[in-house]
Structure formats: structure tokens, C-alpha cells
Structure 1
Amino acid sequence: MNATTPSTRASFSLPSIVAILAAIGSFMNGATLGLILAVVAIIFGIIGVVLSLAPGKRGGVISTFGIGAGLIGIIAAVVKGMMYLFG
């Protein structure tokens, strides 16, 4: 490595971090907020996957996990809502 080339480390993108936090939050809340957070996790997960394709960015696996957990969070929110209505 020569002196003119700066050393850059790959960093996680903000959308990938938001996706995983929103996915986790979707399981910890009620039906309405859980559904909203699950949708946020999916949207930011998709953005995170796209951004992870750029050199110097990481977070593709975390974003993909956020999308999957967001989908499961939607199912969990629907089940919670149905239990509230019929339980």
C-alpha cells in the first residue's frame, strides 16, 4: 500500500442497522406498532441490500435478515391482532 491510497474499512449502512432494529422491535410491541415496524424493516432492508452492493459498504446479510424478520413480524402482528379481536 502506498502513501497516496487511503485505507478504508467497509462499514455497515444505516438502512441495514435500522432494518434489523425495526425487525426486533416489531416482535416486542403490539399488533399495530409491530406491523408498522415490520414494514419499516422490510423497506429499509431492501434499501440496505441495494446499498451493500456498493464497494466499501457492508450489511447485505443483516439487511436480508431484516427483510425475513420483517415478514415474520407481519405474520406475528396479524396473529396478535386476531387474538385481540377474537380472544
Structure 2
Amino acid sequence: MDTTPATRASFSLPSLIAIVAAIGSFMNGATFGLILAIVAIFFGIIGVVLSLAPSKRGGVISTFGIGAGLIGILAAVIKASMYLFS
């Protein structure tokens, strides 16, 4: 009989950073928004890899962070082009 206590899976820090950075990328200007979008993608990839471990959660949040980061890059490019061409 296994007497080890069951541990509850927890969210990984990179997955939380990814989602916060992705949301922050939409709330800032073109330059800082682009930086936050890249951070969201980077930490989202790390979060997805870490979520493969049974003791970690956050795969869906990390994937959402990656997708929102990609949209954030597009939004930053549009913001920058609107600034340049106005």
C-alpha cells in the first residue's frame, strides 16, 4: 500500500507570468506592448513544457498566453504603424 500523501498540482510561475504579460501587452503602447508580448510568448512556452509534469498545472493558461502574445505583437505593430503614418 502506498502511504505517500497525494500532492495537489499547482500552477507554474511561468504560466502566470505569461498570462499577466499578455494582458499587459494590450494595455500599453507599441514598444512596451511588443516587449510584453514577447515575454508572454517566451514564458508561455516554458509554462507549456512545465505543465507536462504531473505536479504542475497551467498548460491551458500558457497556451492562451502564447496566443494572446501573438495577437499582442500584431496589435503593437498596428499601434506603431498608426503612430508613424499619422
State the TM-score, normalizing by the size of structure 1. 0.95
Which runs of 5 or more structure 1 residues have no equivalent in the other structure?
none
Letter aligned with residue 5 of structure 2: P
Aligned residues: CA RMSD: 1.1
TM-superposed CA distance for 1:85, in Å, is: 0.7
Which runs of 5 or more structure 2 residues have no equivalent in the other structure?
none
Alpha-carbon displacement from aligned partner over 1:29-73 (angstroms, at most 9, x marks no partner)? 000000000000000000000000011100000000000000000
What's the secondary structure of 2:54's corresponding residue? coil
Map residues 43-82 of structure 1 onto 2, 5 A cutoff. Answer: 43-82=42-81
1:21 paired with 2:20, answer yes
User: Percent sequence identity over matched residues?
Assistant: 84
State the TM-score, normalizing by the size of structure 2. 0.96
